[in-house]
Amino acid sequence: SMPNGESKNWTRLMITLESFYSLYGYWPTMIHLYSFFIDELKTMLSSEDFNTLQSKLELISDDENPFLALDKAGNYYDYRTGSHPIGETKLKAIDWLNIKEPDYYD
């Protein structure tokens, strides 16, 4: 089922990252996201965690192609066209990012 509620874009972000990892065996280096969601992350995460996130993942403001994860070689996973989920990866994006999950009220 498609995530909805306040945390839906956070959930989509995690699914996109974990799906990329389960496809390629490593994490993406950049991700396209809605501009409003990047602004929301700046608000929801501590400034330290937002900086940590950006040090691992380039956030590209793109309202046309949100939740598109890529690497420098051109490998990609597009949440909107991919299956959900590809499979449970034992590795969680939140652990790789090493940040605290934002506190949404769903």
How far is Cα 38 from Cα 10, in angstroms, rounded to an integer?
10
Strand order, beta sheet including 58-61:
58-61, 30-33, 68-70, 76-78
What is the mean predicted confidence (pLDDT) over 77-104? 83
Rg of the chain taking only CA atoms, in angstroms: 13
Q: Model-level pTM?
A: 0.89
Q: Is 66 exposed, middle or buried (0-12, 13-18, 19+ CB in 10 A)?
A: buried
Q: State pLDDT tens for residues 8-60.
A: 999 999 999 999 999 999 999 999 999 999 999 999 999 999 999 999 999 99
